[in-house]
């Protein structure tokens, strides 16, 4: 079945350093979504990418969708303590429509040292 | 705050028992899905309900079942609980036809002893 893999599993950074997490799918995706989960919290939607090669920015966060629509990345510039949490990528199991739910990666846990 | 509410927040059960978890969708959302999140893992899709019918299911056995009500609220039922069922159960709602962005509730932490 479809697999979504994320690396690294854990990332320790000093506050102010940059951070990148990578996501790879075993199948071509119609879209990819990113979620953030704070410790003890629930996943919160960050963004959805749909087009091949798409790049979107949200303040210090930059999201990319690969040309083959099988990989994606999230880059955070100049991390802050508020960025702490686990970042998940997720893709639909089929071509879209959502009926088969999303396949989530295992997430990258971002730990920031002040 | 997503507007998706779940109850209870925490629950302790013993192996073999049955449990019912509840979810109230965000206003205007007609589709609800349930996910299981084990410690340190990503959420895993259990099933989805649209117009009170299950229209999608992940790799979970039949002892995981659900309901959706006319007001779009939902229940997740798990029979014959096993130790491995211990996890955070997340309800997520969305509006069918308006993209696949999910709005998650705060979850129910289930512990099976």
Q: For CA atoms A107, B73, B48, B37, give the dihedral sign.
A: positive
User: 3-class DSSP state for residue B47?
Assistant: strand
Considering CB atoms only, which of B2, B33, B101 is closest to A33? B101
Q: How far is B92 from chain A (nearest CA, A)?
A: 10
Share of residues in chain B with pLDDT > 90 (%) = 78
Hey, is the C-beta of A41 within 8 angstroms of any chain B C-beta?
yes
B28 pLDDT band, cuts 50/70/90, is confident
Which range is least confidently modeled, A80-84, B44-48, B66-70, B97-101? B97-101
Hey, is the C-beta of A103 within 8 angstroms of any chain B C-beta?
yes
Contacts of the segment A49-55: beta carbons below 8 A, 24+ positions apart: none
Cα–Cα distance measured from residue A54 to residue B40, given in angstroms and rounded to the nearest whole number: 29
pLDDT of residue B72: 85
Q: How far is B79 from chain A (nearest CA, A)?
A: 22
pLDDT of residue A38: 97
Contact B24, B40 (CB under 8 A): no
Q: What value does the mean pLDDT take over residues B82-93? A: 97
Please, is A57 exposed, middle or buried when counting C-beta atoms within 10 Å of its C-beta (0-12, 13-18, 19+)? exposed
pLDDT of residue A107: 98
Per-residue tens of pLDDT for chain A, all 114 residues:
789 999 999 999 999 999 999 999 999 999 999 999 999 999 999 999 999 999 999 999 999 999 999 999 999 999 999 999 999 999 987 655 556 789 999 999 999 988
pLDDT of residue B97: 64
By CA distance, what is B34's nearest residue in A? A101
pLDDT of residue A49: 96
Cα–Cα distance measured from residue A20 to residue A11, given in angstroms and rounded to the nearest whole number: 9
pLDDT of residue B43: 97
Contact B58, B45 (CB under 8 A): yes
pLDDT of residue A86: 98
Q: Give the CA angle between residues B36, B40, B42 to the nearest 5°.
A: 45
- DSSP state string for B64-104: EEEEE-TTS-EEEEE-S--GGG-EEEEEEEE-TTS-S--EE
Hey, is the C-beta of A10 within 8 angstroms of any chain B C-beta?
no
Hey, is the C-beta of A93 within 8 angstroms of any chain B C-beta?
yes
- Site from A4, A6, A42 to mutate, B interface, most B CB atoms within 10 angstroms: A42
Hey, is the C-beta of B77 within 8 angstroms of any chain A C-beta?
no
By CA distance, what is B33's nearest residue in A? A101
pLDDT of residue B27: 80
pLDDT of residue A84: 98
Which range is least confidently modeled, A14-23, B25-34, B57-66? B25-34
Hey, is the C-beta of A8 within 8 angstroms of any chain B C-beta?
no
pLDDT of residue B101: 87
């Amino acid at each position: 079945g479809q697999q979504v893999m994320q690396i690294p599993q854990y990332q320790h950074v000093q506050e102010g350093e940059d951070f990148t997490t990578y996501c790879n799918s075993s199948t071509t995706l119609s879209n990819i979504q990113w979620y953030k989960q704070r410790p003890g919290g629930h996943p919160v939607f960050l963004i959805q990418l749909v087009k091949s090669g798409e790049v979107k920015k949200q303040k210090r966060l930059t999201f990319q969708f690969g040309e083959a629509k099988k990989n994606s990345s999230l880059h955070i510039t100049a991390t802050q303590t508020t960025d702490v949490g686990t970042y998940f990528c997720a893709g639909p199991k089929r071509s879209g429509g959502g009926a088969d739910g999303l396949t989530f990666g295992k997430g990258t846990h971002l730990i920031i040292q002040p | 705050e997503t507007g998706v509410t779940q109850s209870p927040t925490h629950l302790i059960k013993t192996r073999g028992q049955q449990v019912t978890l509840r979810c109230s969708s965000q206003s205007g959302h007609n589709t609800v899905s349930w996910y299981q999140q084990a410690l340190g893992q990503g959420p895993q899709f259990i099933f989805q309900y649209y117009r009170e019918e299950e229209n999608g299911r992940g790799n979970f056995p039949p002892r995981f079942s659900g309901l959706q009500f006319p007001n779009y609220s939902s229940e997740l039922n798990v029979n014959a609980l096993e130790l491995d069922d211990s996890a955070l159960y997340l309800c997520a709602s969305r509006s069918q036809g308006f993209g696949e962005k999910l709005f998650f509730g705060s979850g129910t932490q289930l512990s099976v002893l």
